[in-house]
Chain A
Amino acid sequence: MVEITHLDASPDTRVPKASVRAADGTAAAATLGLNFGSAEQRGETLVVRIRPDEWYLLGDGAPAMAAGLDLSGFASTVDISHSRTAVRITGDCAADTLSKLGSADFSDHMTPNGAALGNGIAGVTCDIVRDDQRGVRSYLLLLDGSFITYFLGALHDAASEF
């Protein structure tokens, strides 16, 4: 079984999201930390180091965390709540579903819980966080919101065999 949920389907469920760009050595980079390609839940915010100089702050705590960052040096934030939309895919066959649409290796040793990566899924550039839910395999996918209608169709189509 695979469960697919569009987390931003309504204003009530919209996930606040911020992008933080910060160069090495800046206060913001030091505060956010993390190894490139990893994620960590901090209170109400999932912090994801998605690229070497870019972090995503996801969740209700994201606006406050972004606002509280010291942006001295070369650092900036952008509210991407309305740009990027979030889809969660959960279940034992979640990786199998994604493997039908994307080329990344979603096995436990290459993409363990807490890993973050970029990959094309069904032709759409996605940022993906392995974010297991209560011990069940789960991935959080962030993509440009304009693709969502097409993307959910492709995802459900791929998951239909499971």
Chain B
Amino acid sequence: MSHRLPAPLGDVIDRSSVISFTWNGKKLQGFEGDTIASALLANGEHILGRSMKYHRPRGVLTADFWDPNTTVQVDDEPNVRASHRKLADGMAVSAQNVWPSLKFDVKAANGLVGRFLTAGFYYKTFMKPAKLWPAYEHVLAKFAPGGSVDLDTPHGRYDKRHAHPDVVVAGGGPSGMAAALAAAEAGSSVMLVEHEHQLGGHLLWGSNDDRAAANELAAACAAAGVEILTNSTVAGRYEDNWISISQRSHPGVIERLIKARGKTLVGAAGTIERPYVFQGNDLPGVMTSGAAQRLIRMYGVKPGTRAVVFTANESGDSAVEALQSAGISIARVVDARAGEGITSASGSKSRVKRVTLSDGTTVECDLLVTAVGWTTPTSLLNMAGDRPVYDADAARFFPAGPPDNVLATGGMIGDGSRDELIAHGRATGELAAGRAAVVRHRLQAATARAAAVDGPEPDYPADERTPLDRAQHPELYRSTTHGIVDYSEDVSSKDLFSAAGEGFDSVELIKRFTTATMGPSQGKLETVNTVAVLAEARNETIAEVGTTVWRPPYAPISLGALAGRINEPTRVSVLQPWHEANGATPILAGQWVRPEHYGDPAAEVRNTRTNVGIIDVTPLGKLDLQGPDVPKLLNLLYTNKWMALPIGGVRYGLMCAEDGVVLDDGVTARLGEEHYLMTTTSSGAAKIWNWIEMWLQTEHPDWQVHVTPVTTGLTSINIAGPNSRELLGRLTTDIDLDPTAFPYMNVRRGTIAGVQNCIAWRIGFTGELSYEIHVPSGHAVHVWEQLLDQGADLGVKAFGLEAQRIMRLEKGHFIVGQDTDGLSKAPVTGLNPLLKLDKDDWAGMPEVAWTMESGDHPVIVACQPDNGSVVPEEAAQILRAGTTEIVGRITSSRMSPTLNRSICLAQVTKEFAAPGTSLEVLLVSGERITATVQEHHAHFDPEGARLRG
């Protein structure tokens, strides 16, 4: 570590803890507390990367989170901010976007043709001829910036959390800490969020007194119960102070997204030092005054040996002191306040060698430090609706006036001594706490479950803070030469002048055209310089040009953090363990994990058709309906009539949305005088519950109907097949199963396998004689096993979802969402007798009536391929013969084990719907086959003799 300075310099490193790492394969060492960049500099490595477009060598510029020049690959993680990421033992760090090496990068040849690679180069050059774009794209992709992603890298653990603090303070400098402390002392719950690894802000690289004050404030915040989040960023502020926080410091996770609902937000982000625009400003060895001080005082790193300091403020002066304390020779202090300036820097490929001053003097050096002013990172305030206003005397933008629940303090709104900043922070914290208390009082008073409010609502505190002064500062943005404005995107002031010359007169347009401010720094270093250069190019003032709109995120946030933990709910019936233990292959149907089959679905079909089968149909949606107005509700929601359903009766119904499109279908039973049980499709249960509540709560609040979802509470088992009556009869004594006593489309309640309060429906989706029994779920395993045990001699076997789908297709039952789609209005189903246009009203009736009147709609038909061994793929197109005109599609298809041939349902235009019509079906292979439209939807037992037996 040849460039490491002796203690006491290096406040944040622990020299007793040595860390080994590699840099482009070379073994190096650093200390605990180092950033990757500080460790590299300590080892004399000054080139840390190459620029995006021209591949110019780049070194440390700001030595903090925003540094645009130090993006590296760490192990398998690309785009790591080396000036921010802490060094860890064993890290393999490498330069990215270079070939073959960092020091000799062939892509730097781009620089030779740089004058042709101006803004808009890609747009103008590669658009024509269009047919060559794939070739261009292939080559351009080789030049894409960024590291390499290993697709085999295991997905790391990310996390998410919600929080409801009274006050969120964004920024842990002196003002932010003081604000957090004052708010906490006033009784608020406070979250203090600091971008860097420790609290303190600029005090961390200040005087001994500054650092002591920072430590004291940080300790006081912790003692006051402030929740301190370091290495975390307030990424966005949304409506009602919904605040997103990217936390990179939570143990055990890579990154955590905190969704905080702050009652008051305090912006205390300080200021960000601006780079200066001049020829050679991106040479390694050119850095901001803050960077030099951070490297020396925080990390004990010597950034050079002979320095030129260009200063316009106290930070530059302080940098001179820091450099001297590090034993760095000061070749020249160029004081802008005295009218001095610099025009260019030049050097070797590895770093700056000399600086040319405004008076033409040339000074030899290997370090150029600039201190030319500040940018106010007003992003969070902008997200709250504030538009910053430029103050030419202070040479920076200031917020104009954020909303009442967003306050700003510290460098964001003015300047002052350490004590003045702390005092303003305290006043802001007290104000934030006062306003948060009012919001909290209102929330508690308005929320039924909340604790009772304590006394009357407090007065809303007025803002009576003593404003901070604004220090005068010369306007220093660009010298007389051109240099880099956006280091991340390799955009120069010359590019901006060129774009302005092409007519891009708006800062918003020039941003998009040149990509200035659109890199990983998100404009923090570049926006104001871009504005200033544009103003200069257009001979306007900076105030006239204004700024771009800063949107979330304040700093980049990982997609992993946005995703958080992967919580995708799945559901199972209480019988699922039995299914799994008995060889079921699971399938995810919506949210439900279901048994697809138990090994041979065709055999399951044959057994059910021959003997008896049982299937777990618990996912079938079930809604308990009670009240005197249930018939009115059913009459409104279903297309058919419901006012005369007898107790014990069951009726099938079709539901439409208000546009007449099929929404759901199912059967509903009348269990008692004012008691009904509705079933819905498995995937439609929640949707239909919401649909019903919408009608009851908004259109008919006068109707007396109670709806309770009972899908899971009742485990549903379908017993299907010729032996189903015999099987069920062995398990019940109080339900008369005689066909005359319990005919098709009826329901009975009784005891099954000793379990009371079961419900038995005589219905069937398979086309077989069948009973659907609903059993209180706690007893379902017992009933299921009893069915298998008692029915062994009857040939009972479980069957899965696939067998059920085959049998329903054999029977010609359509499935909502499979055989219909989002455009299928009710007449498509062919169930016109159920579409009762003589009712007063029902959901979707006008649209359905218009559709029926026009007759212009497709219809569902059953069809069979003429070659019964071919099963067309579902969604295969049906074409007008010999053409490519699409006249329909196959919606369901299977090989029927019962008929030993392929069978289908299809949607076709009416022209092709007549029985006997030959359809031409285009297979995925490109082959065309013919199929014939059938007389009935049912391919099997169209008369329903088995079902009704």
Contacts and interface: CB of A to CB of B under 8 A. Distances in A.
A37 B447 contact: yes
Interface string A106-119: 01111110011100
A158 interface: yes
Nearest to A96: B161
Interface stretch (B406-414, B701-709, B743-751): B701-709
Interface string B188-218: 0100000000000000000000000000000
Secondary structure class of chain A's binding surface, majority of residues: loop
Contacts of A146: 571-573, 592, 618, 711-712
B713 interface: yes
A83 B707 CA distance: 14
B699 to A, nearest CB: 17
Interface in B560-584: 565, 567-574
A82 B777 contact: yes
A80 B708 contact: yes
B162 A150 contact: no
Contact of A112 (B261, B450, B567): B450
Q: What interface size band does chain B fall in?
A: 35 or more
Contacts of B778: 11, 14, 81-82
Interface string A28-45: 000000011110000000
B444 interface: yes
Given A74-B627, A100-B159, A103-B259, A80 B568 contact: no
Contacts of B714: 82-83
B758 to A, nearest CB: 12
A19 B440 CA distance: 33
A105 B252 CA distance: 24
Contacts of A145: 574, 712-713, 777
A78 B710 contact: yes
A27 interface: no
A105 B446 CA distance: 14
A124 interface: yes
B163 A99 contact: yes
A79 B777 CA distance: 12
A109 B450 contact: yes
A36 B449 CA distance: 7
Contact of B567 (A36, A79, A101, A144): A101
A134 B660 CA distance: 56
B578 to A, nearest CB: 14
A150 B708 contact: no
Interface in A69-99: 74, 76, 78-84, 99
B444 A110 contact: yes
A63 interface: no
Contact of A38 (B449, B568, B624, B776): B449
Interface in A2-29: 11, 14, 19, 21, 23
A109 B448 contact: no
B704 A78 contact: no
B416 to A, nearest CB: 35
Contacts of B792: none
Interface in A133-151: 144-147, 149-151
B551 interface: no
A72 B567 CA distance: 43
A81 B713 contact: yes
B450 A110 contact: yes
B261 A105 contact: yes
Interface string B704-737: 1010111111100000000000000000000000
Nearest to A99: B162
B160 interface: yes
Interface string B143-185: 0000000000000000111111000000000000000000000
A92 to B, nearest CB: 15
Nearest to B251: A161
Contacts of A115: 449-450
Contacts of A104: 162
Nearest to A129: B449
A65 interface: no
A82 B713 contact: yes
Contacts of B777: 82-83, 145
A84 B713 CA distance: 7
Contacts of A78: 624, 626, 706, 708, 710
Contact of B712 (A21, A74, A109, A144): A144
A21 to B, nearest CB: 4
A154 B251 contact: no
Interface in B484-510: none
The CB with the most chain B CB atoms within 10 A, among A11, A76, A82, A100, is that of A82
B162 A21 contact: no
A83 B592 contact: no
A115 B626 CA distance: 28
A110 B443 contact: yes
Nearest to A113: B451
Contact of A103 (B162, B189, B567): B162
A35 B189 CA distance: 28
B451 A112 contact: yes
Top 7 nearest A-B pairs (CB, nearest first) are A83-B713, A37-B449, A37-B448, A146-B571, A115-B449, A82-B713, A82-B777
19 contacts: A21-B708, A23-B704, A37-B448, A76-B626, A81-B776, A82-B778, A83-B714, A103-B259, A104-B162, A109-B444, A111-B450, A112-B450, A123-B568, A124-B569, A144-B711, A144-B712, A145-B713, A158-B565, A161-B252
Interface of B: 159-164, 189, 251-252, 259, 261, 440, 443-444, 447-451, 565, 567-574, 592, 618, 624, 626-627, 704, 706, 708-714, 757, 776-778
Given A107-B189, A110-B443, 14 more contacts: A37-B448, A74-B704, A74-B706, A80-B710, A83-B710, A107-B164, A109-B450, A110-B449, A112-B449, A144-B709, A145-B777, A146-B571, A146-B573, A149-B570
